[in-house]
Chains A and B, each alone.
Chain A
Amino acid sequence: MNKFVQLLSDIAKLWAKYGGAYLGGIRNTLILALVGTLIGCVIGFICGVLNTIPYSKSDHPLKRFVLKLIQVIIRVYVEVFRGTPMVLQAVFLYYGLPYFTDNALKFTSVWAAAIVVVSINTGAYMAESVRGGIISVDPGQTEGAMAIGMNHVQTMTSVILPQALRNIMPQIGNNFIINVKDTSVMFIIGFTEFFAAHRAAVGASYLYFPSATIEMVGYLTMTLIASFLLRWMEKKMDGAGSYELVQTDQLTMTAGTYNFPGRGTPFDEQNPEAVKSMMRENLRRQAEQDEAIRQGRKTDRRLESGVSELGADRKEER
């Protein structure tokens, strides 16, 4: 038991001294993970969309060649960045760039380098997720959009991508949580995130285990809050579970206002919209009455000529 007391007092000691560093680390970790995930999503969406552009044999050969080339490039990008550790990618980019260009080209801030690495890495994972998300949208949605004359871009932006985005929200959440944890490798290029704060603290205090406990609790808190927020966002995207029926109250709308349709009333200028909706309502009621009359006629006719036939139709169909 006194071990726990010991631990708590050590943590308190650490926190008193390095609390600011830990909190700063948490802040940097969250910003890096958030920005990296967002840019990664954008990269992923661009790759996923480019990857799913349809082409057929009847298309222009140049178009087919370009599309094929794009797909090969994306494929290589995805395989390379998914297949190597992020910690090495960071080193590779941060030290490789000045090495090859004789310092002409280098990252001036670790922030930029870290964000680029995390974004590219996330993008590689998201590219495949987005492709899957697009493919998983019912083909009927595309056909419905095409049938009202939408082109590929319109279909994508209005119909497919919003649904694909909803489908891959759990994936985006996954990536964000992975990024919160995996940005801890960015200490390698000197980025001061949450884990770097730990290294700094233990370097001075040698309290490895208490500091690691702080780290554990800190990371778990961040990811728990993140997954809670993501669930909430998903719910938000699904919209309300119920809907409101829209009904205009005919009596309040028309009471005392309807006089001589041809002549118009002062009501017209004041509220043309109300008059329009009133007229629509009248038309609708007229149609309803017609419908009722016709329905009546139809049932009569069916009764006379073919109830049994109609029943037979249905049976055939099943």
Chain B
Amino acid sequence: MSDPILQINHLSKSFGSNLVLRDIDFTVSTGDVISIIGASGSGKSTLLRCINLLETPTSGEIRYHGKNVLERGTKPASYRSHVGMVFQSFNLFNNMTVLDNCMVGQLRVLKRSREEARDRAMEYLEKVGMAPYVNAKPRQISGGQKQRVAIARAMAMDPEVLLFDEPTSALDPEMVGEVLSVMQTLAESGMTMLVVTHEMAFAREVSSRVVYMNDGVICEQGSPEDMFGHPQKQETIDFLSRFRK
């Protein structure tokens, strides 16, 4: 495949004496849709937050197009503008309307003109079906709608990779579908995505690679067919068996 966008080498993270991630090696190439699954507390979210430098890894390196972003002197902000993130708790800016949420990053970080930012924001808001709500404040819309806006906000920055940190875990069951279908459309349009999820159906049907994490290490990874069809490791089998009764 083409040269990887992200290359993670020997990444470790500990909170105090608690080792949350151990020696993670991991590559993301253009067009990959990678689902990271695993039990709660297995380090999935921490891995994602490390990749976006919201947590500082204890050791190891994160190479973005070959350049280690953990080195002193690299600006985390400019790196982050290429790596979008969608959070479990949406984190839309409460003081702005839906449209402003999608424009502010373009205006202030990418220094786009108002017209361009507006057009781009509208383009993605239409894609996620939130265009009619441009004037609403985040507190006025539902969880599923917020998450769709959050996706549009991240997409409007034209990121190379989009990280999803359990995007549907905070949603009521009836809203999960709308967010997943937006994500599926994105995946089909060729967006590179890294998704921490508990939605096994999504991991199986949409992703190109599934990574199973257990106890801070990548236990097993492979194509969805292999992972769900013939998992090799005992831990993976145990974990997945809990999802089919």
Chain A residues with a Cβ under 8 A of chain B: 56, 58, 138, 140-141, 143-151, 154, 158-159, 162-163, 166, 239, 242-247, 276, 280, 283-284, 287, 291, 294-295, 298, 301-302, 306, 308-310, 312-314, 316-317
> Given A280-B126, A287-B127, are A316 and B87 neighbors across the interface (CB < 8 Å)?
no
16 cross-chain CB contacts under 8 A: A147-B52, A148-B105, A148-B109, A149-B105, A150-B105, A150-B108, A158-B108, A163-B95, A239-B137, A243-B97, A243-B137, A245-B132, A247-B132, A280-B122, A313-B243, A317-B198
* Shortest Cβ distance from residue A111 to the other chain B in the assembled complex, whole angstroms: 36
Q: Is B74 an interface residue (CB 8 A)?
A: no
A147-B54, A295-B181 known; 16 new pairs, CB 8 Å cut-off, are A141-B91, A143-B54, A143-B87, A146-B54, A147-B80, A150-B109, A158-B93, A243-B135, A243-B140, A245-B133, A246-B131, A280-B123, A280-B126, A284-B131, A291-B185, A317-B169
* A144 CB contacts on chain B under 8 angstroms: 87, 90-93, 150
* Shortest Cβ distance from residue A253 to the other chain B in the assembled complex, whole angstroms: 14
Q: Mark B71-93, 1 if CB is under 8 A from A, else 0.
A: 01001111111101101011111
Specify the main secondary structure of chain A where it touches its partner: helix
* Shortest Cβ distance from residue B62 to the other chain A in the assembled complex, whole angstroms: 15
Which of A149, A242, A291, A294 is in CB contact (< 8 Å) with B109?
A149
| Nearest 4 A/B pairs, CB to CB | A149-B81, A144-B91, A148-B105, A147-B85
Are the CB atoms of A316 and B198 closer together than 8 Å?
yes
* A146 CB contacts on chain B under 8 angstroms: 54, 76-77, 80
* A143 CB contacts on chain B under 8 angstroms: 54, 87, 91
CA distance A141 to B90 in the complex (A): 9
Question: Which positions 130-149 of chain B face chain A at CB distance < 8 Å?
Answer: 131-137, 140
Q: Is B233 an interface residue (CB 8 A)?
A: no
> Given A246-B135, A284-B126, are A162 and B95 neighbors across the interface (CB < 8 Å)?
yes
Q: Is B217 an interface residue (CB 8 A)?
A: no
Q: Mark B167-193, 1 if CB is under 8 A from A, else 0.
A: 001000100000001001100000000
Q: Is B242 an interface residue (CB 8 A)?
A: yes
* B200 CB contacts on chain A under 8 angstroms: 309, 313
* B185 CB contacts on chain A under 8 angstroms: 287, 291
Q: Kindly report which residue of chain B lies nearest to residue A302, judged by CB atoms.
A: B201
* B169 CB contacts on chain A under 8 angstroms: 317
* Shortest Cβ distance from residue B127 to the other chain A in the assembled complex, whole angstroms: 7
* B230 CB contacts on chain A under 8 angstroms: none
* A162 CB contacts on chain B under 8 angstroms: 95
* B76, B134, B135, B199 interface centre (most CB from chain A within 10 Å): B135
Are the CB atoms of B244 and A309 closer together than 8 Å?
yes
Are the CB atoms of A148 and B80 closer together than 8 Å?
yes
> Given A141-B91, A284-B126, A313-B201, are A154 and B108 neighbors across the interface (CB < 8 Å)?
yes
> Given A56-B56, A149-B105, are A312 and B243 neighbors across the interface (CB < 8 Å)?
yes
Are the CB atoms of A244 and B87 closer together than 8 Å?
no
Are the CB atoms of B95 and A166 closer together than 8 Å?
yes
Are the CB atoms of B131 and A140 closer together than 8 Å?
no
